[in-house]
Structure 1
Amino acid sequence: MTPPKVVVFGTSGYAEVHLRRARALHDRAEIVLAGVCDVREPSAEAIGILPSGTLVFTDAQQLLERATPDIAIVATPPHTHLMVALTALAAGCHVLVEKPPVLDLDAFAQLAGCAERAGVSCQVGFQSFGSRALPTLRAAIGDGAIGALTGVGAAGAWIRRDAYYGRNAWAGRRQLNGVSVVDGSLTNPFAHAVATAILVTGQASTLPRAIEVELYHARQIEADDTAAARLLFDGGIEVVAAATLCADDEVEPYVVVHGTQGKARWWYRTNMLEINGRPVPLGLPIGLLRDLVTHVRDKTPLAAPLAHTRAFTAFVQAVRDHPGPKSIPPAWVGTADEGTERRYVVDRIAESVETAADEMLLYSELGVPWAS
Structure 2
Amino acid sequence: MTAPSSVPTVLVGVHGHGRWHLENVARATRAGVPVHLAGICDTRPLTDQQRALAGDVPVTARLADLLDAVRPGITVVSTPIHTHAELALTAAAAGSDVLLEKPPTPTLAAFEQLALDLAGTGRACQVGFQSLGSRALPYVRGLLADGAIGEVLGIGAAGAWQRDASYYARAPWAGRRSLDGVPVVDGALTNPFAHAIATALAVDGADGVGEARVELYRANPIEADDTSCLRLVTARGTTVAVAVTLCADREVEPYLVVHGTRGRIVLHYRPGRVRLERGGRVETTEHPATDLLEDLVATVREPGRPLLVPLAATRAFMQVVEAVRLADEPAEVPPAHRRTDRSGAHPRAVVPGVADAVERAADGLALLSELDLSWARAGAAAARG
TM bucket normalised to smaller: over 0.9
Alignment partner of 2:291 out of 273, 287, 300: 287
- Which stretch of structure 1 is more off in the superposition, 146-155 or 68-77? 146-155
In the alignment, is residue 30 of structure 1 matched against residue 31 of structure 2? no
Aligned CA RMSD, in angstroms, stands at 1.5
Paired residue type of 1:177: D
SS in 1 for 2:69: helix
- Work out the CA distance in 2 between the residues paired with 1:238 and 1:294: 36
SS in 2 for 1:101: coil
- Work out the CA distance in 1 between the residues paired with 2:153 and 2:313: 20
In structure 2, the partner of 1:39 is 43
Q: CA offset at residue 182 of structure 1?
A: 1.0
In structure 1, the partner of 2:188 is 185
In the alignment, is residue 322 of structure 1 matched against residue 327 of structure 2? yes
**Conserved 8 A contact 1:130-1:286:** yes
In structure 2, the partner of 1:165 is 168
Alignment partner of 1:345 out of 328, 343, 350: 350
- Which stretch of structure 1 is more off in the superposition, 21-30 or 59-68? 21-30
In structure 1, the partner of 2:307 is 302
Q: CA offset at residue 283 of structure 1?
A: 3.6
- Work out the CA distance in 1 between the residues paired with 2:235 and 2:73: 38
In structure 2, the partner of 1:98 is 101
In the alignment, is residue 108 of structure 1 matched against residue 108 of structure 2? no
Paired residue type of 2:252: V
- Work out the CA distance in 1 between the residues paired with 2:10 and 2:102: 18
In structure 1, the partner of 2:9 is 6
**Conserved 8 A contact 2:342-2:348:** yes
In structure 2, the partner of 1:368 is 373
Q: CA offset at residue 339 of structure 1?
A: 7.2
Alignment partner of 1:331 out of 332, 336, 355: 336
In structure 2, the partner of 1:273 is 274
SS in 1 for 2:202: helix
- Work out the CA distance in 2 between the residues paired with 1:239 and 1:288: 26
In structure 1, the partner of 2:205 is 202
In structure 2, the partner of 1:21 is 24
Cα deviation 1:237-291 (Å, max 9, x = unaligned): 1111000111111111111112222111111112211011634333421000000
SS in 1 for 2:149: coil
Q: CA offset at residue 323 of structure 1?
A: 2.6
- Work out the CA distance in 1 between the residues paired with 2:210 and 2:119: 26
- Work out the CA distance in 2 between the residues paired with 1:338 and 1:145: 46
- Work out the CA distance in 1 between the residues paired with 2:69 and 2:193: 36
In structure 1, the partner of 2:383 is none
Paired residue type of 1:50: A
**Conserved 8 A contact 2:163-2:247:** yes
SS in 2 for 1:85: helix
Identity of aligned residues (%): 47
- Work out the CA distance in 2 between the residues paired with 1:235 and 1:281: 27
Unaligned runs of 5+ in 1: none
**Conserved 8 A contact 2:160-2:248:** yes
Paired residue type of 1:353: V
In structure 2, the partner of 1:49 is 53
**Conserved 8 A contact 1:56-1:63:** yes
**Conserved 8 A contact 2:253-2:268:** yes
In structure 2, the partner of 1:75 is 78
SS in 1 for 2:242: strand
- Which stretch of structure 1 is more off in the superposition, 10-19 or 148-157? 148-157
- Work out the CA distance in 2 between the residues paired with 1:250 and 1:106: 35
Matches within 5 A, 1:243-282: 243-276=244-277, 278-282=282-286
Cα deviation 1:98-121 (Å, max 9, x = unaligned): 111111111111121122111111
In structure 1, the partner of 2:152 is 149
Matches within 5 A, 1:117-132: 117-132=120-135
Paired residue type of 1:261: R
**Conserved 8 A contact 1:218-1:246:** yes
Q: CA offset at residue 94 of structure 1?
A: 0.9
Matches within 5 A, 1:208-219: 208-219=209-220
Q: CA offset at residue 368 of structure 1?
A: 1.9
Q: CA offset at residue 220 of structure 1?
A: 1.8
- Work out the CA distance in 1 between the residues paired with 2:146 and 2:76: 38
Cα deviation 1:16-55 (Å, max 9, x = unaligned): 1111111222342611311110011122111111144x12
How many residues end up aligned between the 2 structures? 369
**Conserved 8 A contact 1:162-1:339:** no
- Which stretch of structure 1 is more off in the superposition, 284-293 or 231-240? 231-240
**Conserved 8 A contact 1:94-1:122:** yes
**Conserved 8 A contact 1:151-1:201:** no
- Work out the CA distance in 2 between the residues paired with 1:253 and 1:280: 17
**Conserved 8 A contact 2:73-2:300:** no
TM-score between the two structures when normalised by the length of structure 2: 0.92
Aligned in 2, Cα 1:29/1:237: closer, same or farther, shift over 3 Å? closer
Q: CA offset at residue 96 of structure 1?
A: 0.6
SS in 1 for 2:350: strand
SS in 2 for 1:209: strand
